[in-house]
């Protein structure tokens, strides 16, 4: 998303060859985290486990013209105060 253009913008094409770019993508590790999330009827959620002491809360919704995209707005709780 570009603030300057107020729309989604595409990255300029890279100067790498397609084969070397494919090799780079295959070798790059993807950091994944699994967590247990509880979804509520009022379109809010909270994490139940998987993040240790940290708790994430926020809002969720199903968006898109075909309702095929999942949107989550996240707030972090449980740090900085005792």
pLDDT digits (tens, 9 = 90+) for 37-69: 899 999 888 888 777 777 788 898 888 888 888
- Pick the range with the lowest mean pLDDT from 2-6, 10-14, 30-34, 58-62: 10-14
Given a cut of 70, whether residue 77 has pLDDT beyond it is no
52: left (phi over 0), alpha (psi -120 to 50) or beta: left
Q: Are strands 44-49 and 55-63 parallel, antiparallel or unpaired?
A: antiparallel
- pLDDT for res 34: 83
Mean pLDDT value across residues 13-42: 78
- Whole-angstrom distance, CA of residue 34 vs CA of residue 49: 9
- Whole-angstrom distance, CA of residue 79 vs CA of residue 57: 13
- Whole-angstrom distance, CA of residue 29 vs CA of residue 69: 25
């Amino acid at each position: 998303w570009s603030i300057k253009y107020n729309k989604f913008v595409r990255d300029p094409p890279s100067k790498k060859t397609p084969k070397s770019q494919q090799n780079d993508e295959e070798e790059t590790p993807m950091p994944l985290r699994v967590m247990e999330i509880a979804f509520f009827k009022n379109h809010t959620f909270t994490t139940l486990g998987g993040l240790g002491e940290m708790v994430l809360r926020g809002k969720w919704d199903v968006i898109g013209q075909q309702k095929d995209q999942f949107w989550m707005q996240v707030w972090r709780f449980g740090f900085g105060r005792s």
